[in-house]
Homo-oligomer: A and B are copies of this chain.
Amino acid sequence: MKKFEATAKGVYAIAVTPFTADGAIDTASVDRMTDFYLSCGVSGLTILGMMGEAPKLDLAEALAISSQVVRRAPVPVIVGVSAPGFAAMRSLARGVMDLGAAGVMIAPPPALRTDDQIINYYAQAVAAIGADIPFVLQDYPLVLSVVMTPKVIRQIVMDNPSCVMLKHEDWPGLEKISALRAFQRDGSLRPLSILTGNGGLFLDFEMERGADGAMTGYAFPDMLVDIVKLSQNGQRDAAHDLFDAHLPLVRYEQQQGIGLAVRKYVLQKRGAIAHDAQRVPGASLSATARAEVDFLLSRLARHDPRAEL
């Protein structure tokens, strides 16, 4: 098993799940996609997240994909195990760890409201999967309707030593990164890796606020890797120049509902997967939308040759 700790840095790509046109898992593309992400320089992979269409897979499929990716990738692989109940969460979590996953990711169920409900949920989740499995806390209020204050996140991290990373996806969220880093400076929060999501829409400033990198699925993970490196090296203007060149497409891909269709379309054009199909229910791009993406790619190609497709 590869190490997965609170010192993690860099880009963990949120991997798509490749399907064929008829909805079967495209096994050949799973390898191709894994290789593609690795070639982009990612530090890890996160599979079976929301943008990995995890809820559309059954358990056997989830385990098969996990096994295939874990065997192929020399980097830590995190597996999304969010589930309606703890029995299914445990089955999947123990299953993928046995296969060699480095850790799991857990999102809160949408019904949680109070601070205590959220804190208790994570205590129960850790009791269910076992305190030996490192896990990522996913904080994504826009989609999940669960709002975690920095204090609540601190409590979860301090209560559960197996919590090693925050997938930061609050919106807006820049001040939240600053607040968590301030907790660490005042000694009330132990080390915690913070990787950011939201399709990269704020990665430029998230890095400056103290993020350790990105955990998101933008179709140019190589750009995310570059931004993280430039930022870590203090090359602020270069980081922003590259970021700004990609922003029109990042923004387009970040549309709820059809964002994944955009992402898969670009990944297919880049050769990372053979088909851009989603399982039902899923959005598809109109001819106009595809033309808009092509137009954005052509404009991007003036600044970044990787967009010449």
For the complex formed by this chain, how many copies does it contain in all? Answer: 4
| Chain A 234-267 near chain B by CB (<8 Å), digits 1 or 0 | 0000001001100110011001111100000000
User: Given A147-B113, A149-B116, A127 and B286 touching (CB < 8 A)?
Assistant: no
Kindly state whether residue A292 has any CB partner on chain B within 8 Å: yes
A172: chain B residues within 8 A (beta carbon): 255-259
Beyond A205-B292, A209-B288, whether A86 also contacts B56 by CB under 8 A is yes
A240 to B88, CA, bound (A): 43
| In the complex with contacts A115-B114, A149-B114, A247-B244, A88-B280 CB distance below 8 A | no
* Residue positions of A touching B, CB distance < 8 A: 53, 55-61, 83-88, 90-91, 110, 113-117, 120-121, 124, 127-128, 146-149, 151-152, 171-172, 174-175, 178, 201-202, 204-205, 208-209, 240, 243-244, 247-248, 251-252, 255-259, 279-281, 286, 288-289, 292, 299
New A-B contacts (9) at CB < 8 Å, excluding given A124-B280, A247-B251: A57-B88, A58-B59, A58-B85, A85-B279, A86-B279, A117-B147, A175-B258, A209-B288, A244-B244
